[in-house]
Amino acid sequence: MKKILLSYFVYLVVVFGYFLFLYPLQILSETKYAAIAHAIFFGKLPLIFILLYGVITYEWIRKWQGVFQWRNHFIETGFVGLFLLFIYQFIQLPFDLVWFYVTHAVGTSNQSLVDWIWELTLDLFFLWIGLTLLLLAFQWLVKKRKKSWPVILWLMTIPVAVFVVYIQPVWIDPLYENFTPLAEGELRQAIEALTTDAGLQDATLLQVNMSEKVTTFNAYVTGIFGNARIVLWDTTLEGMNQSEILFILAHEIGHYVMHHVYYGVIGYLVFALVLILLIAYFYRRIMYRKFRQMELFDIRAIPVLLFITMFFLTISQPLTLFVSRQMEEQADAYAVAHTEDLEPAIEGFVRMSIQSKSDINPAFWVKWMRYSHPPMQERIDNIERVMKERELE
């Protein structure tokens, strides 16, 4: 373990050294903010694997069982999940604190430390509940359905998907932010005209108070089954002009018109099925070869399951991000096609890049691992290409 930790330290030095001094950063502001963001992301990447390797190698769960003498299976699973999550959050804390400082130093965040800690605690709580329920379901299924448990477990992801896209925006998101109806006025009327033209009369227009936390701009669309919600950050309303906002909203409407939320749910379910089948296959093989003394549903085997799961989630991340970027490109194309004057679109993208201090043209491998949207330079180039084509018509 000492060699692994030493290797990780060397890895951190290399990662931060590269991004801070050698990486070809392209930004529209004088700061290393985006480079630090890249370094923190890649610096944190191995942490979960190091933690799980240590838990497996040193049999932490067996030792916890000896200390606490849990007699109830539900309590045992809950505490094991809580301990793992707490330790993982603890070893990430130095990176999170550095990022908290950096975002405040460059002015992209003004969130109070108390509010930041509250959100961190809330995230940990919901993640713990979800992980505990998942582990309990997994253990029960493996014990009762030794051959068919992967498929049954996959079927259980369907209500999870519905929860994320239908229930979470209404019940969970308001626990974090303050949502209010978009104020009446010229902008709302213009947005309603856009939604009406797109056949989106049932959409709820909301603004969310983000200025207490960040200074960056954003808008998004969420919800299904007649529960569509178009949400604008108040920073967007304050920091961008109406033409720029309308282009962003045209992009978000494009997502809805092209049914990206539905395709996203279907894609998630297909991906989940493939992922669960792969995890089940390798979990069985590894357990039978390396840990024959344990049953598949043994609580002590959970770190092995989590290690395999995180491995496949990590290596599949470029694929899922690629799909996301394709949808964002399609939404951009919709917005461009439904916007006559594209100068505000470019001005808005430039304004967003300056405000967010983002890397507008990242290295290809950084884009693969981090970018759910096309890099801003690509989006600007596409708009400029369309403008030139229109001039020639």
As annotated, the active-site residues are 252
What is the C-alpha to C-alpha distance for residues 132 and 129, in angstroms, rounded to an integer?
Answer: 5
305 burial via Cβ count (<10 Å: 0-12, 13-18, 19+): buried
Q: Tell which residue, 386, 379, 324, 388, has the closest CA to residue 350.
A: 379
Distances (CA, A) of 60 to 249, 285, 298, 310, 311: 50, 22, 14, 19, 20
| Count of other CB atoms within 10 angstroms of residue 335 | 23
Q: Tell which residue, 312, 315, 290, has the closest CA to residue 369.
A: 315
Q: Got the DSSP string for 220-279? A: EEE--TT--EEEEEHHHHHHS-HHHHHHHHHHHHHHHHTTHHHHHHHHHHHHHHHHHHHH
Sign, CA torsion 81/86/87/88: positive
SS3 291: coil
92 burial via Cβ count (<10 Å: 0-12, 13-18, 19+): middle
Strand arrangement, sheet containing 229-233: 179-181, 204-208, 229-233, 219-222
203: its two tokens? 């959409």
Please check whether residue 194 is in contact with residue 219, taking contact to mean a CB–CB distance below 8 angstroms.
no
Please check whether residue 360 is in contact with residue 375, taking contact to mean a CB–CB distance below 8 angstroms.
yes
